[in-house]
């Protein structure tokens, strides 16, 4: 009689196929042996893991991976004695998620695997050794299910599709701020023709990925049926911000079609030429839609022109389409925390906002004491951009103050006594900049703050002279966040 330990010994020696053959034969004789089932399950896990690694290294094609998944995971589904929830069950799902996009059977397996069998730790974000936070196994499962549903996986199985949509809705209800769940939901809505609902669902995605071409292309699709001009604006924004040309190669074709339909042939010719040049340079085939544009009379007349128009900057118009009107608020950069990679902008004594360097890279170079304007979409408190300001102060909150430096002997800090009796706290670093000379006439920029210990209001100097951002500009949130 084959024991579970015999199968485990073969597996640990790397003899996976032999271990599988022995496990299958033993299972046929004694299918109710829980120890045997667990040993069998670990063999299947190691085989799946090996095949996924080969697939990720591009050593095998998707068809082979799908065939192996069909075989091995059908075996796994017979093992009703494997712990669920359990380590093996979760580890196997982790591997399947890596190759699930190439496997037509994924959605049915995900339904069978059962989100209810997730362990508590599977619902927590994964923390890497370098401090980064990665999506939990549960969230990765939700993303994979969403992708399978919008890609038409199991199109012939309405029951599984309904389950996938319901799971996506359930996860959105629990994680309403997750941009990728909104992304998959918006694609579903677009396919159903619910353009307005899709735009609303896309809003948090655009907010976080606004410098990615694909998100503007998707937003453009929601406008095509009812407002072609708005679709054109979105597509222009997509080609303007795309990091890689292949990201918008199809978007250029659709943009050219819309521009040609509105008789803006010169602008359309630019898009046709860019799409053709990229495809020929990359060795890609020319799709029928692009070939038709290439053969059009207007394109043949304009193809060789050296005076075609530049692509317009439609950022402001695109932002209005995505978010509504952008509202700006005047604030002062009162802290730069390099260690935590963030800047704090204060609007008043009790109001402010954090701008993270990862989303607003340019904010790291703005000196403390600089006045800027922070913009956010109407009805949304999350900042989406900032811009420089010509303002010299904020009434009652941030002002230039001149007066006499007062400092007791032995004290590192001091106070500026203004002409109108204002008393401004001067921290040691600013006293050092001023030379620490009591009685000297000095000028500083002071901000109103609240004493944490006593709760009283008072002025505090944050720089010795007015600060200005180096140039007038508008800076968007970065797409890499």
DSSP-derived 3-state class of residue 133: strand
Which of 472, 429, 422, 424 is closest to 445 using CA atoms?
424
DSSP 414: E
User: Which residues of the chain does CATH 1.25.40 include?
Assistant: 4-200, 209-317
**Looking at residues 90-104, what average pLDDT do you find?**
93
Pairing mode of beta strands 326-337, 342-346? antiparallel
Cβ-contact 106, 153 below 8 angstroms: yes
Vertex 472: Cα angle to 309 and 344 (nearest 5): 125
Q: Supply the pTM of this predicted model.
A: 0.72
- Contact in structure between 251 and 239 (CB atoms under 8 Å): yes
Partners of residue 460 on adjacent β-strands: 425, 447
Q: Do the strands 423-426 and 457-463 form a parallel or antiparallel pair, or are they unpaired?
A: parallel
Instruction: Give the residue, 471 or 234, on which the prediction is more confident.
Output: 234
- pLDDT number for residue 420: 79
> Using CA atoms, how far apart are residues 18 and 242, in angstroms rounded to an integer?
50
List every span in the chain annotated with CATH 2.40.50.140: 398-463
Copy the structure tokens of residue 182.
């909104």
Q: How many other C-beta atoms lie within 10 A of the C-beta of residue 122?
A: 20
Residue 423, SS3 per DSSP: strand
Residue 164 in tokens: 């996938």
Please state, in angstroms and rounded to a whole number, the distance separating the CA atoms of residues 110 and 454: 57
CA angle 124, 128, 131 (to 5 degrees): 100
pLDDT tens for residues 247-302? 999 999 999 999 999 999 999 999 999 999 999 999 999 999 999 999 999 999 99
Does 209-317 carry CATH code 1.25.40?
A: yes
pLDDT at 480 (0 to 100): 36
* pLDDT 10s digits, 206-229: 888 888 999 999 999 999 989 999
Confidence of residue 459 (pLDDT cuts 50, 70, 90): very high
Give the helix ranges, DSSP H, for 16-61: 16-29, 34-56
Alpha-carbon gap, residue 451 to 445, rounded angstroms: 18
Q: How many CB atoms lie within 10 A of CB 4?
A: 18
Question: What 3-state DSSP class applies to 260?
Answer: helix
CATH of 325-392+469-476 among 3.10.310, 3.40.190, 1.10.3470, 2.40.50: 2.40.50
Q: What is the pLDDT of residue 481?
A: 38
- CA 449 to centroid of chain Cα atoms: 35
d(CA 110, CA 147): 12
Whether the bond into 257 is cis, omega within 30 of 0: no
Q: Tell me, which fold does domain 398-463 have in CATH? A: OB fold (Dihydrolipoamide Acetyltransferase, E2P) (2.40.50)
Q: Tokens in use for 413?
A: 């800090």
CB atoms within 10 A of CB 169: 12
How much of the chain, in percent, has pLDDT values that exceed 90? 73
Element (H, E) at 465: none
The contacts of residue 285 (CB under 8 Å, 6+ apart) are 279
- With a CB cutoff of 8 Å and minimum separation 6, the contacts of 97 are 137, 140, 141, 144
- Residue 436 has a pLDDT of 63
When pLDDT is cut at 50, 70 and 90, the band that residue 2 belongs to is low
- Locate 252 and state its tokens: 């250029």
Q: Which CATH class is domain 4-200?
A: mainly alpha
Q: Is 108 in contact with 160 (CB distance < 8 Å)?
A: yes
Residue 359: pLDDT over 70: yes
pLDDT in tens, 154-176: 677 889 999 999 999 999 999 99
Length of the chain: 481
Q: Considering Cα of 134, then 137, then 138, then 144, what sign does the dihedral take?
A: positive
Q: How many CB atoms lie within 10 A of CB 261?
A: 11
pLDDT tier for residue 479 given thresholds of 50, 70 and 90:
very low
Among 80, 75, 93, which Cα is nearest to 32's? Answer: 80
CA distance 250 to 240: 14
> Residue 324: which region, alpha, beta or left (left: phi > 0; alpha: psi -120 to 50)?
left
């Amino acid at each position: 009689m084959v024991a579970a330990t015999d199968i485990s010994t073969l597996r640990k020696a790397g003899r996976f196929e032999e271990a599988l053959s022995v496990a299958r034969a033993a299972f046929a004789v004694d299918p109710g042996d829980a120890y045997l089932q667990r040993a069998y399950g670990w063999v299947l896990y190691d085989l799946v893991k090996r095949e996924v690694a080969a697939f990720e290294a591009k050593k095998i094609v998707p068809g082979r991976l799908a065939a192996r998944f069909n075989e091995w995971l059908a075996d796994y589904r017979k093992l009703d004695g494997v712990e669920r929830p359990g380590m093996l069950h979760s580890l196997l799902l982790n591997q399947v998620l890596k190759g699930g996009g190439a496997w037509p059977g994924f959605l049915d397996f995900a339904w069978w695997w059962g989100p209810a069998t997730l362990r508590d730790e599977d619902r927590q974000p994964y923390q890497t050794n370098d401090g980064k936070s990665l999506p939990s196994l549960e969230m990765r499962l939700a993303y994979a299910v969403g992708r399978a549903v919008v890609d038409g996986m199991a199109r012939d199985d309405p029951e599984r599709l309904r389950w996938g949509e319901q799971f996506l809705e359930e996860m959105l209800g629990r994680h309403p701020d997750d941009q990728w769940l909104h992304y998959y939901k918006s694609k579903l809505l677009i396919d159903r023709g619910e353009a307005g609902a899709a735009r609303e669902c896309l809003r948090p995605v655009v907010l976080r990925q606004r410098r990615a071409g694909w998100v503007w292309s998707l937003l453009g699709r929601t406008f095509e049926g009812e407002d072609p001009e708005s679709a054109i604006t979105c597509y222009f924004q997509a080609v303007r911000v795309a990091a890689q040309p292949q990201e918008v190669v199809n978007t250029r074709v659709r943009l050219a079609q819309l521009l040609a339909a509105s008789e803006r042939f010169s602008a359309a010719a630019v898009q046709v030429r860019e799409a053709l040049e990229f495809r020929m340079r990359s060795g890609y085939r020319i799709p029928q839609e692009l070939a038709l544009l290439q053969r059009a009379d207007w394109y043949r007349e304009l193809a060789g022109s050296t005076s075609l128009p530049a692509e317009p900057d439609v950022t402001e118009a695109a932002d209005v389409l995505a978010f509504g009107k952008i509202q700006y608020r005047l604030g002062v950069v009162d802290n730069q925390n390099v260690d935590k990679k963030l800047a704090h902008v204060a609007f008043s004594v009790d109001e402010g906002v954090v701008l993270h360097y990862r989303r607003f890279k340019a904010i790291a170079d703005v000196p403390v004491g600089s006045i800027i304007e922070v913009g956010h979409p109407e009805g949304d408190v999350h900042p989406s951009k900032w811009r420089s300001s010509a303002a010299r102060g904020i009434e009652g909150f941030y002002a230039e103050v001149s007066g006499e430096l007062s400092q007791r002997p032995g004290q590192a800090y001091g106070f500026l006594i203004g002409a109108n009796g204002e008393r401004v706290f001067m921290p040691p670093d600013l006293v050092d900049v001023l030379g620490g000379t009591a009685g000297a006439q000095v000028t500083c920029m002071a901000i109103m703050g609240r004493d944490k210990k006593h709760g009283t209001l008072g002025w505090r100097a944050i720089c010795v002279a007015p600060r200005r951002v180096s140039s007038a500009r508008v800076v968007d949130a970065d797409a890499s966040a």
